[in-house]
A = this chain, B = another copy of it.
């Protein structure tokens, strides 16, 4: 069953993918649906409501892993799904840090992470905090990667030092070699996930 709201959000996502968030306009959405901008208002309360819906639409895209898999594999699968949708829809990612996502789909993902942490043996009292932390890492990594926040790390040390006198960036100087080697983002993401899994395991054992 394809509701009119769904159609609108699909078009909004497509416009965001093609031309960034600025291209998501009531008028542009209407035009693509063959309708005026005001015809959208019965299904979308305001532009803000539209963007809320867009975040929900994004979460809808991330597929959940098989419940039978071990918790580690499930967690890694969710993380990779998040990074995948971030790469498909980079313009929408920053909105995740702008408004809370409380759609059914958001809760579905949240519940899957809770379940994985419980299966890992994390004490129930700690689960909500740990979920917030690992979600922040995964969402933050995915958003930073596509937004260019991490690109500061891939600038050549030479360019960076040009901005400030050498003496003011001593650690950059000490790290020149490390900063010169190009970053393997796929590898870094997996390494981060390894560390998160190890962290979760440690929490579980501490709790026993």
Which A residues have a C-beta under 8 Å from some C-beta of B?
93-104, 106-108, 110-112, 114-115, 118, 124-125, 127-129, 131-133, 136-137, 139-141, 143-144, 147-153, 155, 160, 163-164, 168-172, 174-175, 177-179, 183, 188, 191-192, 195, 199
Q: How far is the CA of A114 from the CA of B93 in the complex (A)?
A: 27
Which residue from chain B places its CB closest to the CB of A96 in the assembled complex?
Answer: B149
Alpha-carbon distance between A97 and B150 when the two chains are bound, in angstroms: 9
Complexed CA–CA distance, A102 and B155 (Å): 9
Note all chain B residues with C-beta closer than 8 A to A93. 97
Set B111, B160, B178: member contacting A125, Cβ < 8 A: B178
The verdict on A107 contacting B164 (CB below 8 Å), with A101-B152, A144-B136 known, is: yes
The reply to whether B101 and A143 contact each other, CB–CB distance below 8 Å, is no
C-alpha spacing A52/B64, complex, angstroms: 36
